[in-house]
């Protein structure tokens, strides 16, 4: 019984990593633009804040999500969705990740990122 469930979860790995690779290329191309067309930056363009940091934030978040899904599919990390604390922590992590992506486009999202980070730190103090 456990072996059959484990085999189904391991089959998620190629799907997870394939979606990660394809979405990484698509989103980086969307955020960063075509590399060939954007190499000569105009004099007033801000390449670090305008394109490099959002791409870095997306890649960092995507890698953390892929590692979490890989650990889940291997059976190393089991999520108890019946626990209310677990659900609220996942919502807080989602708000944190969303705010970290949105902060590059509107600075007001710094506040939601700080609130989510403080919540995660305060709840997990043991």
- Is it the case that residue 29 has pLDDT exceeding 70? yes
The arithmetic mean of pLDDT across residues 63-92, rounded, is 86
Q: Please tell me the predicted confidence (pLDDT) of residue 39.
A: 46
Q: Which two tokens stand for residue 68?
A: 């979490």
Q: Please tell me the predicted confidence (pLDDT) of residue 126.
A: 66
Cα 47 to Cα 90: distance, rounded to the nearest angstrom: 32
Q: Please tell me the predicted confidence (pLDDT) of residue 113.
A: 92
CB 13 within 8 A of CB 76: no
Mean pLDDT of all residues in the chain? 78
Place of tokens 């000569």: 40
Q: Which two tokens stand for residue 16?
A: 């997870």
* pLDDT-above-90 percentage for the chain: 21
Banded model confidence at residue 34, pLDDT cuts 50, 70, 90: low
Q: Higher model confidence: residue 7 or residue 35?
A: 7
- Is it the case that residue 15 has pLDDT exceeding 90? no
CB 85 within 8 A of CB 122: no
Q: Please tell me the predicted confidence (pLDDT) of residue 58.
A: 78
- Is it the case that residue 7 has pLDDT exceeding 80? no
- Is it the case that residue 41 has pLDDT exceeding 60? no
Rg over alpha carbons for the chain, rounded to the nearest Å, is 18
- Is it the case that residue 111 has pLDDT exceeding 90? yes
What's the whole-model pTM score? 0.62
């Amino acid at each position: 019984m456990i072996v059959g469930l484990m085999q189904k979860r391991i089959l998620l790995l190629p799907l997870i990593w394939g979606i990660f690779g394809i979405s990484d290329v698509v989103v980086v191309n969307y955020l960063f633009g075509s590399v060939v067309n954007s190499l000569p930056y105009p004099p007033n363009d801000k390449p670090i804040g305008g394109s490099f940091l959002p791409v870095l934030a997306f890649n960092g978040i995507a890698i953390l999500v892929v590692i979490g899904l890989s650990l889940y599919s291997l059976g190393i990390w089991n999520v108890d969705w019946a626990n209310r604390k677990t659900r609220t922590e996942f919502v807080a992590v989602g708000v944190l990740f969303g705010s970290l992506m949105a902060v590059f486009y509107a600075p007001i999202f710094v506040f939601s990122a700080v609130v989510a980070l403080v919540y995660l730190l305060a709840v997990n103090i043991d």
